Amino acid sequence: MSNLESYPPAFRQLKAPTPPQLAELNNNSNSMGDTAQASSSVDIPVVDLECLSLEKLGEVCKEWGIFRLVNHGIPPSLLSKLEEHVKRVLSLSFESKQALLTNPLSYFWGTPLLTPTGAALRGALNINWLEGINVPLCHLQQFESGDPRLHDFRHYLEEYGRHLSRIATTLFEAMVKNLNLGPKQSESSLDESTGFIRVYRYPSGSLADEAWGMMEHTDSSVLSIVNQDQVGGLEFFKDNEWVLVNPISGTLVVNIGDMLQAISDDQYMSVKHRVRTNKQAERFSICYFVFPAKGSVIRSSKYKPFTYTDFQQQVQHDTKTLGYKVGLQRFKLNAAV
């Protein structure tokens, strides 16, 4: 099977030479705006989970909203095995992935751009140039497949998920202490049963300068934990510029999500980030997201009381009606949106 056959049909076109009419569109359009400017590169702060400093963790969350996690306790052998299986499964033919990756797993590709800057693009460039698999960890045991590749894949996902749940809980408990949140404020603000893994594949190709892997956004989670490969491409926004997160083998990247920003009364900021594609190499990443318990009400001096379900429904409504996510601004006290 050729590599192209593993891609969704729209991506096979994107990997071809740029059609003249598309080249003209890209040359004459400013739809990417300032977001297409070259990124600088900086070493993001490092947090050591083995020797966790509450003071340093608090400073990093307030000033950066993103950090590199070391000594996280995940065996290197598990990381390499999971990365190997992610590449193997996502390299199956497009039709095979659609047939094999069934409930509770789900295969997706080309999610719509959710920011106003993407609205002017047309056709295949009006989607995020990615494909992936959603893995709800609490339902993963229900997944049965006769394909031995998927059996092993599930095994490594389950083991990895247990580690990520431990890491997220440890970090969140430390953050709660830092923020001096009372029991009622912190109770049910992070629920391990909501955790899910999403694996991504970002195709390479000749249109990497025009097609975004993932346009700028903030995560709706409490915490997001990313294991990126060595290709790189993850960028975040700080001090009015886009900054590249250099890939370092064996480390994880943790970023604050919208729910934690609200829980913290805006002391911790949900970091805006995006992913660039690469002309020469595919990029793979394995991401973990965790949320408040279902029905848990987030109470804050900055926001109206709301649940994650309220937030999710508002995001879906805005995405459908406006074409992009408004996010926390919808729930600000006395906000004019």
Active site residues: 283
Cα(227)–Cα(75) distance, rounded to whole angstroms?
13
Amino acid letter for position 316: Q
Structural contact between residues 65 and 45, judged by C-beta atoms closer than 8 angstroms: no
Structural contact between residues 243 and 237, judged by C-beta atoms closer than 8 angstroms: yes
Hey, what are 114's tokens?
């959710």
DSSP code of 118? G
Residues in the chain: 337
CA distances, 189 to each of 75, 263, 306, 325, 332 (Å): 28, 8, 12, 22, 18
Structural contact between residues 197 and 221, judged by C-beta atoms closer than 8 angstroms: no
Amino acid letter for position 107: Y
Hey, what are 205's tokens?
């190709």
